[in-house]
Amino acid sequence: MVLIVVAAILSLDQFTKFLAGAALTLNRPLPVIKGIFDLTLVHNRGAAFGILKNQVPFFIFASIVAIYLIYKNLKAHGHNFSYSLALGLILAGAIGNLIDRVIFGYVIDFLDFRIWPVFNVADSAITIGAIMLGWHLLTPNSKLSTPNSHAS
């Protein structure tokens, strides 16, 4: 089931980036909800919030290492759906942004809420997965059970 989620998120990410690249002009906002939400095509050459610009080889290497570690962890704890889902979301996002970096040398961002840096579907998946994982790790009695726990 987690592989289906990964494939769906990855497909949605790549499809929306394709549409953004085809329909939008670089750095020209297209208002969707005036003053609140725009579609703005941005070529992000850094990491989150544009930090460490033009470090593509580093980001490619770090992404490959992260993908490998997440994959190993998924294989080891695949019996726990909620934990695996959190990792699967992070995995899908990491792969989506890695594809951009390898093909273009930058990540395509286009969702612009104007009070936050422009982002994409992959970034959203990573963020949601990281929040789920953080909740899981910080809340022992949460519905996100630990990878080593078993239902009684």
Q: C-alpha 142: how far from its chain's center?
A: 23
CA R_g for the chain = 17
Helix axes 81-104, 2-23, angle to 10 degrees: 30
Which of 13, 38, 112, 123 is catalytic? The answer is 123
Distance CA 123, CA 14 (A): 12
Would you call 38 a catalytic residue per the annotation? no
Which of 13, 100, 109, 112 is catalytic? The answer is 109
Q: Facing residues of 37 across strands?
A: 33
Would you call 123 a catalytic residue per the annotation? yes
As annotated, the active-site residues are 109, 123
